[in-house]
Structure 1
Amino acid sequence: MTKLIAIEEHFLTPDIRAAWAASPIQDGTSAFDRGEIESRLDDLGGGRIALMDEAGIDVQVLSVTTPALHNLDPEQSIDLARQTNDLLAATVAKHPTRFQAFAVLPTASPAEAALELERTIAQPGFAGTMLCGRTRDKNLDHPDLRPIFATAAKLGAPVFIHPQIPQRSVRDVLYGGFGEPIDTAFAAFGLGWHYEAGIQFVRLTLAGVFDEFPDLQIILGHWGEVVLFYLERLNALARVTKLQRPIDDYFRQNLYVTPSGMWSQEYMQRSLKIVGPERILFSTDYPYQYRPGAPGKAFLEAAGLSEQHKKLFANGNWRRLTSSIQRF
């Protein structure tokens, strides 16, 4: 039986939830994490493992759900990052065959974030970091954040760019006018989240981050967060940039994509056409897309892939990607 490693599987802690509630920056998405979702986010033990077994998932790569620590006070986020990563380390140590982890970083303090990435990657089970797009009004390509990417590239640690809801000014102009809860849903899981994450990858490309760090590897969820489907248009940007490579080269050499529980054969085929079978990774977006009946496993089994490519999708690509991590 093919081993399934799911790489976008979320959790949350009471301390982070309390910090969000006290923050002057409120994004409105905490309402999505109530009831059964909340209890599943908080569980890093038996209940989670039981649902993994039901879904046929052998390993979850744990990550703090959006917006992580990106909108918190810098000093507060440093302490919370260390505390949360220590919890992740303990969880992986307790269940080493079931869990791995993406480090959460205090991105408002980029130098400290780079140090925290080094600290966590040195520990067993950590397999990179997840960033939730911009930090307040700073996009990921902002020069202040460059130490994070420099460190990730040095360590060979992949960076998962996860969606975050657009800032208020963008939400009001593009996603507002329908009243709640429609405005927030439209700006979040309806569409806004996905444009936000995809655009961050494009911005990194246009800013020359991959020219500076050619081995840096980024992961986008939801089959490439929209931009994968507009590569033909994005390629035209080469006419006005001074990048070292064609635009599509960065998609094929610096990007991995994962379904995030969107079990679409059409989207998979588009992803295969752009990045190839060696750059797709399995994920279920637990607990948000969890459904009984193991739909992810059924999707894999029904996929029009060779047995070799099914194994790459299920676990092989992830193993290869993380095998080059340098744990100093």
Structure 2
Amino acid sequence: MMKLIGIEEHFLTAEIRDAWHAIGLDASDPSVAFHSGTLERRLLDLAEQRLALMDESGVDVQVLSLTTPALHDLGPQAVDLARRVNDAVAEAVARHPDRFQALATLPVAMPDEAALELQRCITALGFKGTMLCGRVGTRNLDHPDLLPVLRSAACLNAPILLHPRVPEMAVRTAYYSGFSPQVDAAFATYGLGWHYDAGVQFLRLVLAGTFDRMPGLQVILGHWGELVLFYAERLAALDRVAGLAHPIATYLRRNLYVTASGMFLPHYLERALATVGADRLLFSTDFPYQYRTGRDARRFLENCGLGEAAKAGFAHGNWMRLISDQIRA
């Protein structure tokens, strides 16, 4: 059968969970409370139970990434924590090299240290890229302070999976509140807020000229482009005022990859295909959040409507090409 690689598949460690609780992140980020029960058990497992669930869904390889909000709210203590997490994940990959790959966990509040850790992860540990969760404190990803991380990724040919995180409190209060606490939290996160936030972060990188300065930098958006692709025609109107080197459509086809994140909807795939092209489609299941039984992932691949060459690219070929020219030790 065609090899199937899921590139947005998450994990958590007990140490990171405890670090979130130690700084009281539960009070400001409702997603912290989502990591409990069955979800937490699946996130914490990097061994046989995860492999069994992969087999059940039809996924051959998971590219492991730390779940949101990652280390974005931790200060200097995140430097050593990131190294320990990355070393532990590297050990899991070494135990199952044909089943796991990894994205680097970075201490992004310390950008210079984060850039060095990304270099270590790519060149020494064999990781394939990194995952960032939008804002770092009050700083958006286009903030000048965070340039070392972006430059490191560009120099290493390391793609950045730009993952959603909860919008800041003022945005949540203005747009996502006024219902019950449970509805407010869901509306601001997986219901809608997460996805607008991630899409806005990517567009801020575009409008800040990031891809003019670093044309080789590659970003991955999950959930079929975090709403960006569905407004490509409206975004094109910004070309008149943005002062960029290229139309926004160029950055969508040159600097953006799009993945499914378990949203197995053929009409979303068709939109992504039309906007970014077949060679920029990646597969993912958003494990464990979108996990469903019955070889769901494999069935979607087999019935997605793509021709055989494009289907192979979607399943694994586009990802393997994206990471093929990374720098190694």
Deviations 1:211-248, CA, capped at 9 Å, x for gaps: 00000000000000001110111111111111100111
Give the TM-score normalised by the residue count of structure 2: 0.98
Equivalent of 1:37 in 36, 39, 45: 39
Separation (CA, whole Å) in 2 of partners of 1:180 and 1:280: 36
**SS of the counterpart of 1:219?**
strand
Aligned residue in 1 for 2:148: 147
Separation (CA, whole Å) in 2 of partners of 1:24 and 1:84: 21
Aligned residue in 1 for 2:82: 81
**SS of the counterpart of 1:133?**
coil
Deviations 1:8-63, CA, capped at 9 Å, x for gaps: 00000011001111114430112211111110000000000011111111100000
Unaligned runs of 5+ in 2: none
Aligned residue in 1 for 2:20: 20
> Does the CA contact (< 8 Å) of 1:100 and 1:127 recur in 2?
yes
Could you tell me which amino acid in structure 1 is paired with residue 5 of structure 2? I
> Does the CA contact (< 8 Å) of 2:58 and 2:296 recur in 1?
no
Separation (CA, whole Å) in 1 of partners of 2:302 and 2:95: 31
Aligned residue in 2 for 1:51: 53
Separation (CA, whole Å) in 2 of partners of 1:93 and 1:303: 32
**SS of the counterpart of 2:128?**
strand
Identical amino acids, percent of aligned pairs: 59
Separation (CA, whole Å) in 2 of partners of 1:166 and 1:71: 13
**SS of the counterpart of 1:72?**
coil
- Displacement of 1:124 in angstroms is 4.5
> Does the CA contact (< 8 Å) of 2:220 and 2:259 recur in 1?
yes
**SS of the counterpart of 2:140?**
coil
Could you tell me which amino acid in structure 2 is paired with residue 28 of structure 1? P
> Does the CA contact (< 8 Å) of 1:89 and 1:123 recur in 2?
no
> Does the CA contact (< 8 Å) of 1:133 and 1:161 recur in 2?
yes
Aligned residue in 2 for 1:119: 120
Could you tell me which amino acid in structure 2 is paired with residue 35 of structure 1? G
- Displacement of 1:272 in angstroms is 0.2
Aligned residue in 1 for 2:173: 172
Quick one: structure 1 residues 105 and 124, their matched pair in 2 at CA, closer, same or farther if it must change by over 3 Å? closer
Aligned residue in 1 for 2:294: 293
Separation (CA, whole Å) in 2 of partners of 1:103 and 1:168: 27
> Does the CA contact (< 8 Å) of 2:126 and 2:328 recur in 1?
no
Could you tell me which amino acid in structure 1 is paired with residue 139 of structure 2? K
- Displacement of 1:123 in angstroms is 2.9
Aligned residue in 1 for 2:228: 227
- Displacement of 1:125 in angstroms is 3.8
Task: List, as ranges, runs of 4+ consecutive aligned residues in structure 1 with deviation greater than 2 Å.
Answer: none
Matched, 1:69 2:81: no
Could you tell me which amino acid in structure 2 is paired with residue 72 of structure 1? L
Aligned residue in 1 for 2:269: 268
- Displacement of 1:326 in angstroms is 1.2
Deviations 1:135-194, CA, capped at 9 Å, x for gaps: 011000000000111010101000000000001111011100002100010000000000
Separation (CA, whole Å) in 2 of partners of 1:191 and 1:320: 32
Separation (CA, whole Å) in 2 of partners of 1:59 and 1:322: 15
Could you tell me which amino acid in structure 2 is paired with residue 49 of structure 1? L
Deviations 1:269-317, CA, capped at 9 Å, x for gaps: 0000001110000000000100110111111111111111110000000
Aligned residue in 2 for 1:9: 9
Aligned residue in 2 for 1:130: 131
Give the TM-score normalised by the residue count of structure 1: 0.98
**SS of the counterpart of 1:6?**
strand
> Does the CA contact (< 8 Å) of 1:28 and 1:184 recur in 2?
yes
Unaligned runs of 5+ in 1: none
Separation (CA, whole Å) in 2 of partners of 1:58 and 1:93: 16
> Does the CA contact (< 8 Å) of 2:167 and 2:197 recur in 1?
yes
Could you tell me which amino acid in structure 2 is paired with residue 14 of structure 1? A
Could you tell me which amino acid in structure 2 is paired with residue 117 of structure 1? L
What is the RMSD computed on CA atoms of the aligned residues? 0.8
Matched, 1:105 2:109: no
Separation (CA, whole Å) in 1 of partners of 2:120 and 2:126: 12
Separation (CA, whole Å) in 1 of partners of 2:37 and 2:231: 37
Separation (CA, whole Å) in 2 of partners of 1:191 and 1:221: 13
Separation (CA, whole Å) in 2 of partners of 1:282 and 1:124: 23
Could you tell me which amino acid in structure 2 is paired with residue 141 of structure 1? D
Separation (CA, whole Å) in 2 of partners of 1:151 and 1:37: 32
Could you tell me which amino acid in structure 2 is paired with residue 9 of structure 1? E
* Greater Cα offset, 25-34 or 251-260: 25-34
Could you tell me which amino acid in structure 1 is paired with residue 50 of structure 2? R
> Does the CA contact (< 8 Å) of 2:205 and 2:211 recur in 1?
yes
